[in-house]
Amino acid sequence: MTSPVSNLLLASLSPAYRHSLIARLKPVSLRLKEMLYDNDGPPKFGHFLTSGMASVVSTMANGSTTEVGIWGKEGMPQSFHLLGNAKVPTCCFMQVAGTALQIPFKELQKEFQEVPEFRECVLQGIQSHGFILSQLAACNRLHEADERLARWLLMVRDRVGSDSFYLTQDFLATMLGSRRTTVTAAASALQRRGIIKYSRGRMNILDAKSLEEAACECYPTIRNLYQDFFSANLVA
């Protein structure tokens, strides 16, 4: 069973408040493709992810899609919804099945409005996530598919805490916003070098050090931002 405090946002709260909050959260399993929010109104729930990974995906008018962000156990994908009533142009679903502690979104809003400690932690997470998004925007514009694939696989590895995870081939293309053939070629090149093994939807990272060398400079930048999530007030 994953520990509730494997979620970094929850881990950063003071023990007394964290205990009272966790008592009101419901442990849930999140299956592959399960929607955490879409662009049709406010989410039903907030999810403190404790394992797995969620993708934030943007869809254009012609139906083409690309991943614009990811969330793992560092936080809560519905954080941005707490800031106001803006219509969200993205959706977010589980890309690697996992677990979370769930709370009705209305209760989450109340907590955000009434508990300064909780609000400060959520805002800290939003700031870190915002900086990661700006790095990803530059990466998607300036870096090649093969180095972005390596960067992305390392980001998933950090979030799921494993060298092995299931990924659909279609999603690899969505993630890179590239043609499927481009992604297949990039993955095949990494596989030929013995860095990864991708078979029947299971991705195995065989040589993380070489994968880091194959990734663009954005990976260490994003890793540092990820590791700094809530670190200023992290409770041991």
Of 49 and 176, nearer to Zn ion (C-beta) is 176
CA 135-124-33 angle, 5° bins: 65
Of 9 and 211, nearer to Zn ion (C-beta) is 211
Sign of the CA dihedral running 190, 99, 56, 213: negative
Among the listed ranges 55-63, 112-120, 141-149, 168-176, the one in contact with Zn ion (CB under 5 A) is 141-149
Among the listed ranges 39-47, 139-147, 186-194, 227-235, the one in contact with Zn ion (CB under 5 A) is 139-147
Q: Which of 58, 59, 115, 143 binds Zn ion (CB under 5 A)?
A: 143
Give the DSSP letter string of 99-142.
EEEEEEHHHHHHHHHH-HHHHHHHHHHHHHHHHHHHHHHHHHHH
CB of 69 to Zn ion, least distance (A): 14
Query: What span, in angstroms and rounded, lies between the C-alpha atoms of 236 and 15?
Result: 10
CB of 165 to Zn ion, least distance (A): 21
| Contact predicate 20/126, CB 8 Å | no
Q: Which of 155, 183, 218, 222 binds Zn ion (CB under 5 A)?
A: 218
Distances in Å between the alpha carbon of 42 and those of 69, 86, 142? 19, 10, 33
Q: Which of 150, 205, 211, 216 binds Zn ion (CB under 5 A)?
A: 216
Of 118 and 152, nearer to Zn ion (C-beta) is 152
The CA-based dihedral angle spanning residues 76, 77, 81, 83, taken in that order and rounded to the nearest 10 degrees: 50
| Contact predicate 198/191, CB 8 Å | yes
| Contact predicate 101/4, CB 8 Å | yes
Q: Which of 53, 139, 160, 203 binds Zn ion (CB under 5 A)?
A: 139
CB of 147 to Zn ion, least distance (A): 6
The crossing angle, in degrees rounded to 10, of helices 218-227 and 116-142 is 180
CB of 205 to Zn ion, least distance (A): 18
Of 107 and 144, nearer to Zn ion (C-beta) is 144
Of 100 and 149, nearer to Zn ion (C-beta) is 149
Residue 215 found at the interface with Zn ion (CB under 5 A): no
CB of 150 to Zn ion, least distance (A): 9
Residue 30 found at the interface with Zn ion (CB under 5 A): no
The footprint of Zn ion (CB under 5 A) covers 139, 143, 216, 218
